[in-house]
Structure 1
Amino acid sequence: MSKKNLLLKIILPLIILVIGVIGFKSLTGLSTPPKKQAQPQRGLLVEVLTIATQPHQVTVHATGTVAPGMEISLVPEVSGKIDWLSPQLVTGGFFRKGEKLLEIDQRDYRLAVEQAQATLAQAEVALQTEEQQSKLALEEWQLLNMDDKGEPSPLVLRAPQLKKEKANLDAARAGLKKAQLNLQRTTLYAPFDCRIRTEQVDPGQYLRAGTAVATLAGTAQAEIKVPLPLSELQWLDIPRAGDTHTGSRATISLTSGSERLTWTGEIVRSAGEIDPASHMATIIVAVDTADGNRSTPQGQLDLSVGLFVDVALHGTHLPEVVSIPRSALRENYSVWLADLEDRLQIRPVHVLRREQDTLLIDEGLSAGERMILTTLDGAVTGLLLRPMAQEQTR
């Protein structure tokens, strides 16, 4: 290989490399790096509710036990053997007002009526006889004392004997009424629509007057005994002695399978005492248990004695109040707000009342303010926010 060719193979690549380096530096020297643009600050994404003040009716939620609105003991007023007994006179049996429950053997009482009637007849005859004797005595005195302008004495006119016979007649009449009343009392009737809660009676049994044989519970009305903390009483209208109006309305509900049964009622009184163990007061809610006062067709579960039911008591109407979710209340009775610049503000509030899912606020919040619902770690005043999903509070 000639020297000329050798030099070309060595020098030519070096020349090309040098030219490339010079060109790269020239190009890079002419370009300027792009300016860095400042990234906008992005606040924390939070969900907010727009505050609204509105009227609100306080609802006190509680539970209660069903008791009969009316309950009496069935007590015979006369003694005797049972002559007839209704087959429905068993525990759970139902009677309409005026239906016959049982009948005591009437034979002795019918005889007593007949005897009293005879005694009355004798007394009437005796009085008539004595009246005639008194009349004759007066005529005799007048014949013997024609010139005497005085008056005969009561003894002459047989006044004591006449008074005695009149008293005997009154006693005979009273005796007949008593015998007839005892005869009526041999038959016992249902005093109102009722169910038999308990009974201790069998056909042919001898009953003694004054001994209870059954317990009857009225079916037209039930009472719900509802224990409540003393702090809840201020929200309810509870009638006191002498009041003629009814108290706060109530909704009674019970779940039976897939059905939710409801009745309406009203507070009628308080039990008038505080339970020493629980320190709770008991109020009484009266419920009309007629077929029309229920949310389900006839034939479903009745509001039976002993049932444990849910009770919603509809109490005081508050004219202007803010209702917020319980979860929105933060430490030290405060809430978080998003101000006009979307920055976090911490505001103390006054909780007027706690309800099942909400809090009622009467101080510290104004209509139109945005309350933060999202829970934040390390929340501080001035924290930049990105509010979203604004809704009216309900």
Structure 2
Amino acid sequence: MNRVLPIIVTVLTVLIIGGGGFMLLTVLQPKPEQADEPPAGLSVFAEQVVQDDLVFTVEAQGEVRPQREVAVSPQISGRISYVSPDFIDGGFIRKGQVLVRLEAADYELGVVRAQSGVASAEQRLAREVAEAEIAIQDLKELGIENPSPLARREPQMAEARASLESARAQLADANLALGRTAVVAPFDGRVRSETANIGGFASPGQVLGQIFATDIVEVVLPITDAQLGQLGLPLAFAATDAVKGPEVLFTAQVGGQMREWTGRVTRTSAAINSRTRLINVIAELNDPYGEGADDGAPMAPGLFVTASLQGDRIEDLKVAPRGAIRSGNQIYIGDPSDGELHIYEVDLVYSDPDGAWFHSDEVEIGDLALTSPIQAAFSGMSITVLERMPDGSIKTHEPQRNREAGEGQDTETDETGEALAGTDSAEQASLTSTEGE
């Protein structure tokens, strides 16, 4: 017992001294400084809202066709005695030019016979007129008053006059048939096809070739009802000197080179196609083989072209990237100074891959529209705005609270975002992931 007691006292002494020393060190140890750091916001890309005019452009395709095209065919029958050297496939023809001529001997004889008939009818009429005068004189000498028309030979004179008119009509018909032995071009144009040969026999209505006018060509462009509205055209539109149709730029590959021609819409179809539910817009090009050609390359019939139609212009609209519009009519705006997201509703006018045009009293020119995908977004959400600059670099906007804490400032990097000053590794990882999306 006497030996155990000193050991216990020694152990208790060591414990008391050690515990006191630990408590003393704990009390005297300086407390670590606690930094009042705000939580890091989600890094999101943004682009500025700008102001611009919206000009609608409608794309369509169609085949070029001549405005006037006819089949060359005679109105009478006969053997072909002449074919114009220009009346060949691809030949140029002029208005009034004789394309085909038929043998005229039979028709010349017909004219002679008709002339003879007219002379006979004129002689008969003259004889009837003389006999009527003699009859009237005889009636007066006999003292007959109020003689009948037959006694005055009036029916005989009427018959002679009718015979003369008939003979003259036959002469005119013979001259007309003689004139139709020559088939002439009704307009300036070109020959699409030709089948006439000298010595061949032609019947009335037989097709000897196809010709088309070269003054105007047209293209039928099927578009939707929405596109018709973008062009500002009503259904059954017809251009006038006061109201002209939209300008059209035609393009096509010709001879291995892209060619362009400028025309104009002149009318629309009067009805909607019942099968396609599309509306045909007809655009025309004047003088396609002359002034309307592109460096000598005509917009020839049969060519398949792409048409770009210039529509209405809406001025002073606000424009943001298309990806900034969410849920149809909402836009996400980043406040770089507060580091917060704001959601506004806008009046969306039109959108395409080039951007979204809208009206809004809350969104200002120069605001930063967010383009990154954000899940469960809400107004006031904490964000860090990364602005895409026109030169391709990315500007990081540090919120005001971070700048007051002295942690960073607005910096610029290249588009890869490899070194963003003022952001930690987690923010850089979020940037890389977001940019990849």
TM-score by length of 1: 0.78
Which secondary structure does the structure 2 equivalent of 1:273 belong to?
Answer: coil
Q: State the percentage of identical aligned residues.
A: 26
Q: Which residue among 352, 356, 359 is the counterpart of 1:359?
A: 356
The question of whether the paired residues in 2 share the 8 Å contact of 1:84 and 1:103 is answered with: yes
**2 CA distance for matches of 1:285 and 1:209?**
36
Q: How does 1:1-394 map to 2 (within 5 A)?
A: 44=43, 46-52=45-51, 54-145=52-143, 148=144, 150-236=145-231, 237-238=233-234, 240=236, 244=240, 245-256=243-254, 257-270=256-269, 272-276=271-275, 278-290=276-288, 291-294=290-293, 296-298=294-296, 300=297, 302-330=298-326, 332-339=328-335, 341=337, 342-355=339-352, 357-363=354-360, 366-372=363-369, 375=372, 380=377, 381-387=381-387, 389=389
Q: 1:260 to 1:356 in 2, by over 3 A?
A: farther
Which secondary structure does the structure 2 equivalent of 1:89 belong to?
Answer: coil
Query: 1:21 — aligned with what?
Result: none
Which secondary structure does the structure 1 equivalent of 2:383 belong to?
Answer: coil
Query: 2:396 — aligned with what?
Result: none
Q: 1:358 to 1:77 in 2, by over 3 A?
A: farther
The question of whether the paired residues in 1 share the 8 Å contact of 2:238 and 2:267 is answered with: no
**2 CA distance for matches of 1:216 and 1:358?**
48
Q: What's the CA shift for 1:128? A: 0.9
The question of whether the paired residues in 1 share the 8 Å contact of 2:48 and 2:368 is answered with: yes
**2 CA distance for matches of 1:98 and 1:261?**
32
Which secondary structure does the structure 2 equivalent of 1:139 belong to?
Answer: helix
Q: Which runs of 5+ in 1 are unaligned?
A: 1-31
Q: What's the CA shift for 1:222? A: 1.0
**1 CA distance for matches of 2:224 and 2:266?**
16
The question of whether the paired residues in 2 share the 8 Å contact of 1:199 and 1:213 is answered with: yes
Amino acid at match of 1:307: L
Amino acid at match of 1:117: Q
The question of whether the paired residues in 2 share the 8 Å contact of 1:250 and 1:267 is answered with: no
* Count of residues in correspondence between the two structures: 352
**2 CA distance for matches of 1:242 and 1:387?**
49
**2 CA distance for matches of 1:184 and 1:362?**
70
The question of whether the paired residues in 2 share the 8 Å contact of 1:289 and 1:303 is answered with: no
Q: 1:127 to 1:332 in 2, by over 3 A?
A: closer
Q: What's the CA shift for 1:85? A: 0.8
Which secondary structure does the structure 1 equivalent of 2:96 belong to?
Answer: coil
**2 CA distance for matches of 1:231 and 1:177?**
58
The question of whether the paired residues in 1 share the 8 Å contact of 2:64 and 2:302 is answered with: yes
TM-score by length of 2: 0.71
**2 CA distance for matches of 1:239 and 1:246?**
15
Which secondary structure does the structure 2 equivalent of 1:266 belong to?
Answer: strand
Which of 241-250 and 190-199 deviates more?
A: 241-250
Query: 2:412 — aligned with what?
Result: none
The question of whether the paired residues in 2 share the 8 Å contact of 1:350 and 1:363 is answered with: yes
Q: What's the CA shift for 1:142? A: 1.6
The question of whether the paired residues in 2 share the 8 Å contact of 1:47 and 1:390 is answered with: no
The question of whether the paired residues in 2 share the 8 Å contact of 1:93 and 1:195 is answered with: yes
Query: 1:15 — aligned with what?
Result: none
Q: 1:261 to 1:247 in 2, by over 3 A?
A: closer
Q: Which runs of 5+ in 2 are unaligned?
A: 1-29, 392-437
Q: What's the CA shift for 1:194? A: 2.0
Q: Deviations over 1:254-288 (max 9, x none)?
A: 23334432222223122623151x33222211221
Q: What's the CA shift for 1:191? A: 0.7
The question of whether the paired residues in 2 share the 8 Å contact of 1:228 and 1:283 is answered with: yes
The question of whether the paired residues in 1 share the 8 Å contact of 2:334 and 2:367 is answered with: yes
Q: What's the CA shift for 1:350? A: 4.2
Q: Deviations over 1:155-201 (max 9, x none)?
A: 11211111111111111111111111111111111111222233333
The question of whether the paired residues in 2 share the 8 Å contact of 1:51 and 1:371 is answered with: no
**2 CA distance for matches of 1:367 and 1:64?**
42
Flag the structure with more relative contact order, 1 or 2, with Cα contacts below 8 A and sequence separation at least 6.
1
Which of 106-115 and 332-341 deviates more?
A: 332-341
**1 CA distance for matches of 2:82 and 2:328?**
74
Amino acid at match of 2:224: P
Amino acid at match of 1:132: A
The question of whether the paired residues in 2 share the 8 Å contact of 1:42 and 1:386 is answered with: no
Which secondary structure does the structure 1 equivalent of 2:389 belong to?
Answer: strand
